[in-house]
């Protein structure tokens, strides 16, 4: 279980990065970035996971038996989701502007800053 | 004590004030007239500067620990989130405040219609920089990293009407987001190993342990993420694209503090977390950091010389300086860190003044191309002098504060038995300052032929510079069109002339203040003292925290005279480089240099895919080096 989760993390990060590197479309590129981002979230959740643990809710419920999963890591993952949403939104807005101004979504054709 | 009581309230206020100001700007800017928006934003930035300056003074001697909501550590275990304020971090935060204030004053007349959103973003950027400098919590460090990054992406693409800022913002956002992801993975791995997010606590758990594979991976991911922000080779490719296309007031913030914060985080995490690992990894880590620093310093300087696009040139100058700071901080001695910190302050002020000066030229002449501006500097004499002075300060002209920092760094290199580092530093400083001086001489004195510029910039048919120029002037042309209606030859507004001068005068004043070097050395010693930091944060020995011993700063007359001579030599060298770059007779030399560095220029393709490839390769390299250094 654990090894599988870490394998998924490595796979998602690498395939996401590969997608960013080879992308021919800015929208596709942003989605690939989100794929790489989800690797981070899965990693954090896996680090906080405990086999058989219950949800980290301690108030207003009858006492659970056994350990809870780590709430700190879930908080980190949640923060990361928020950051990811902000970055994705911003990048998509930029992509829309690129399409308006340069008439293309291909990052290889948008060569305004090369040296 | 009264001072302590007020100071403890100042700590959270230093981030609450800019955040509240940003919320006000974002929420109510439509209700406020333009002058009120500008005034409130400037007042908030100045207030934040005052608070952080107060913290710099109050935390000298012993760190100030602030636990949010009073969640103090229990029996030496941190359960809350803390701010661990030291003079070095607080001084960095003050620098951010000064530069944000200067940028906001400059904005007054720079944008034709500055909306509240711009001011809000600048203030959020300031708040996250302060947070970054003061925090003692690893996850909080990541949050500040991301908050600063996201606001910076938005600020870079603020002129969304042109392709260059858009591409700069996209490259910046994609590479730095990947850097943020790797940093967060590193945070997660460290938490998995130590069960804590507090820097001091993690350090305590790792003390005396041998590094295993997980710690090496955590080191590589965390440090790699911060090195992306610090724009260290090979993570640097986004920097010229972003700095070269961002609006001028934003460049000021970026060049002065943003990437320096990345280096700050690398050293802070190294000192508090990894330096206690068993196995004496210090010397090997020093070699790794110095290697990255030297590479960055030289690549940045060479690329700066090859630029005709003024903002892009300053971007590479910034990068070269980041390498120099990494050399100083990477010596991993308090003296080297002190020298690097003073250089960060001195060069940061000077680089910001240069960017602001270039902004005046762009505003008045509608171009940022050195070749197109040749001989068109008449009427902008004050700006010309500002740019020339700034370039000389970058070459460590005494008695500006950067020359003090340079002297400390040279001493540190000598003490570490690596005196040849001085040559590396001098060469990159001479090349990057020489590039700026060359541009100033060409624009204001009309020196150098047009054919010389082609030879210097690389092959004549290199479309890169043309493309860069077109984008730069396209951005400027749009704003010039607006201005020409109201008369292009109007006087330069005082709010655009005075801020760069004020920044240079600040650098001069700091350099003339006696005891600057001693204060910096004491601050760096406190920053580097791992045990005292952990004891102060975790309260492991209650009551009296031993005052950090000040380290001796070698200020013997002979040493300081030698330092002044070395500084003057750098200034002279920079002038010579500028002269050679413009002299008609030296054009074969220039052509040879351009041919020799063409491959380096071609690597900076501006393609985001290439940049991410380099990033991933750099991470792999860092992991291999971390394995060698830590185990």
In 3D space, the residue among B469, B161, B476 whose CA is nearest the CA of residue A101 turns out to be: B161
Label residues B384-402 b or e (16+ Cβ within 10 Å = b).
bebbbbbbbbbbbbbbbbb
Secondary element (H or E) of residue B64 = strand B64-67
Question: Tokens for B582?
Answer: 């413009």
Q: In a mutagenesis test of the A interface, which of B465, B609, B614 is the best target, namely the one with the most A β-carbons within 10 Å?
A: B609
CB B412 within 8 A of CB B343: no
d(CA B312, CA B275): 36
CB B217 within 8 A of CB B623: yes
User: Given an 8 Å threshold on Cβ–Cβ distance, is B174 in contact with A112?
Assistant: no
Helices B401-415, B334-365: axis angle to 10 degrees equals 140
Domain positions in chain A are 2-50+68-102
Judge whether B174 is closer than 8 Å to chain A, CB to CB. yes
Partner residue facing B181 (CB), from A37, A91, A94:
A37
Question: Tokens for B629?
Answer: 């250094």
CB B549 within 8 A of CB B416: no
A68: which strand partners? A54
User: Given an 8 Å threshold on Cβ–Cβ distance, is B166 in contact with A98?
Assistant: yes
Domain spanning A2-50+68-102, CATH architecture: Orthogonal Bundle (1.10)
- Global confidence as pTM: 0.92
Q: What residues of B are in contact with residue A20 (Cβ under 8 Å)?
A: 174, 178, 608-609, 612
The alpha helices in A23-70, defined as continuous H runs, are 26-48
* Res B1: pLDDT: 41
User: Given an 8 Å threshold on Cβ–Cβ distance, is B184 in contact with A26?
Assistant: no
d(CA B623, CA B617): 10
User: Given an 8 Å threshold on Cβ–Cβ distance, is B471 in contact with A37?
Assistant: no
For chain B, the distance separating the N- and C-terminal CA atoms, rounded to the nearest angstrom, is: 47
> Taking 60 as the threshold, does the pLDDT of residue A93 lie above it?
yes
Task: Give φ, ψ of A68 to 5 degrees.
Answer: -105, 155
> Taking 90 as the threshold, does the pLDDT of residue B172 lie above it?
yes
Look up residue B370 and give its DSSP letter: T
User: Nearest CA to CA, how far is A104 from chain B (Å)?
Assistant: 11
SS3 at position A60: coil
What is the rounded average pLDDT for all residues in chain B?
87
> Taking 90 as the threshold, does the pLDDT of residue B279 lie above it?
no
- Kindly report, residue by residue over B176-190, the tens digit of the pLDDT: 999 999 999 999 999
Partner residue facing B601 (CB), from A20, A37, A115:
A115
Span of B13-17, B45-49, B442-446 with lowest mean pLDDT: B442-446
d(CA A44, CA B148): 22
d(CA A49, CA B344): 43
Judge whether B612 is closer than 8 Å to chain A, CB to CB. yes
- Cα-based angle B23, B21, B360 (whole degrees, multiple of 5): 110
ipTM of the complex as predicted: 0.95
Judge whether B167 is closer than 8 Å to chain A, CB to CB. yes
CB B239 within 8 A of CB B260: no
Q: What residues of B are in contact with residue A101 (Cβ under 8 Å)?
A: 160-163, 166
Dihedral sign, Cα of residue B28, residue B29, residue B35, residue B38: positive
User: Given an 8 Å threshold on Cβ–Cβ distance, is A47 in contact with B178?
Assistant: no
- Kindly report, residue by residue over B575-584, the tens digit of the pLDDT: 999 998 888 8
Q: How many CB atoms lie within 10 A of CB B617?
A: 12
* Res B320: pLDDT: 96
> Taking 50 as the threshold, does the pLDDT of residue B127 lie above it?
yes
Span of A93-97, B255-259, B453-457 with lowest mean pLDDT: B453-457
């Amino acid at each position: 279980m654990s090894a599988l989760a870490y394998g998924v993390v490595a796979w998602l990060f690498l395939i996401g990065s590969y997608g960013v590197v080879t992308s021919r479309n800015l929208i596709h590129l942003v989605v690939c970035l989100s794929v790489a981002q989800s690797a981070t979230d899965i990693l954090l959740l896996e680090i906080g996971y405990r086999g058989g643990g219950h949800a980290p809710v301690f108030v207003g419920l009858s006492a659970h038996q056994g350990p809870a999963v780590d709430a700190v890591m879930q908080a980190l993952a949640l923060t990361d989701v928020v950051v990811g949403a902000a970055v994705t939104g911003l990048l998509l807005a930029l992509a829309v502007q690129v399409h308006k101004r340069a008439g293309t979504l291909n990052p290889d054709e948008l060569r305004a800053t090369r040296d | 004590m009264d001072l302590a009581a007020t100071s403890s309230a100042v700590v959270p206020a230093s981030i609450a004030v800019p955040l509240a100001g940003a919320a006000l700007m974002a929420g109510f800017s439509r209700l406020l007239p333009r002058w009120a928006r500008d005034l409130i934003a400037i007042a908030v930035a100045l207030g934040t500067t005052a608070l952080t300056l107060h913290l710099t003074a109050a935390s000298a001697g012993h760190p100030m620990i602030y636990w949010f909501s009073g969640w103090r550590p229990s029996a030496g275990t941190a359960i809350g989130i803390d701010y661990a304020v030291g003079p070095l971090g607080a001084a960095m935060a003050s620098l951010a405040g000064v530069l944000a204030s200067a940028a906001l004053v400059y904005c007054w007349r720079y944008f034709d219609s500055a909306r509240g959103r711009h001011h809000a973003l600048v203030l959020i950027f300031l708040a996250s920089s302060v947070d970054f400098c003061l925090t003692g919590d690893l996850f909080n460090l990541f949050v500040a990293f991301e908050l600063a990054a996201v606001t910076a992406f938005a600020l870079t693409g603020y002129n969304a009407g042109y392709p260059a800022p858009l591409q700069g913002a996209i490259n910046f956002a994609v590479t730095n987001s990947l850097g943020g992801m790797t940093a967060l993975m590193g945070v997660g791995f460290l938490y998995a190993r130590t069960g804590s997010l507090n820097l001091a606590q993690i350090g305590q758990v790792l003390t005396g342990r041998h590094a295993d594979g997980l710690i090496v991976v955590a080191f590589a991911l965390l440090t790699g993420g911060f090195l992306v922000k610090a724009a260290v080779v090979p993570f640097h490719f986004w920097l010229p694209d972003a700095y070269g296309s961002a609006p001028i007031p934003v460049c000021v913030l970026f060049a002065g503090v943003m990437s320096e914060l990345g280096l700050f985080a690398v050293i802070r995490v190294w000192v508090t977390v990894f330096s206690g690992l068993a196995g004496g990894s210090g010397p090997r880590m020093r070699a790794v950091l110095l290697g990255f620093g030297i590479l960055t310093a030289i690549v940045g300087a060479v690329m700066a010389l090859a630029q005709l696009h003024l903002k892009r040139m300053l971007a590479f100058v910034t990068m070269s300086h980041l390498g120099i700071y990494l050399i100083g901080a990477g010596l991993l001695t308090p003296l080297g860190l002190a020298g690097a910190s003073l250089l960060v302050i001195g060069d940061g002020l000077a680089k910001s003044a240069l960017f602001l000066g270039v902004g005046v030229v762009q505003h008045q002449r509608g171009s940022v191309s050195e070749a197109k501006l040749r001989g068109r500097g008449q009427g902008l004499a004050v700006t010309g002098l500002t740019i020339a002075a700034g370039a000389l300060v970058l070459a460590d002209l005494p008695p500006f504060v950067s020359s003090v920092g340079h002297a400390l760094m040279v001493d540190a290199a000598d003490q570490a038995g690596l005196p040849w580092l001085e040559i590396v530093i001098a060469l990159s400083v001479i090349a990057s300052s020489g590039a700026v001086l060359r541009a100033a001489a060409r624009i204001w004195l009309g020196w150098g032929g047009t054919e010389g510029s082609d030879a210097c910039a690389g092959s004549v048919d290199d479309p890169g510079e043309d493309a860069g120029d077109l984008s730069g002037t396209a951005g400027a042309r749009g704003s010039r069109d607006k201005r020409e209606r109201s008369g292009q030859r109007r006087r330069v507004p005082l709010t655009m002339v005075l801020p760069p001068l004020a920044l240079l005068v600040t650098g001069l004043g700091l350099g003339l203040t006696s005891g600057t070097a001693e204060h910096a050395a004491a601050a760096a010693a406190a920053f580097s003292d791992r045990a005292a930091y952990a004891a102060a944060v975790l309260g492991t020995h209650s009551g009296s925290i031993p005052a950090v011993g000040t380290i001796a700063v070698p200020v013997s007359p002979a040493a300081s005279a030698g330092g002044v001579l070395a500084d003057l030599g750098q200034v002279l060298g920079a002038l010579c480089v500028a002269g050679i770059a413009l002299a008609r007779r030296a054009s074969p030399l220039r052509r040879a240099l351009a041919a020799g560095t063409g491959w380096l220029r071609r690597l900076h393709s501006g393609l985001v895919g290439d940049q991410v490839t380099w990033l991933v390769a750099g991470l792999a390299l860092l992991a291999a080096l971390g394995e060698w250094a830590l185990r």
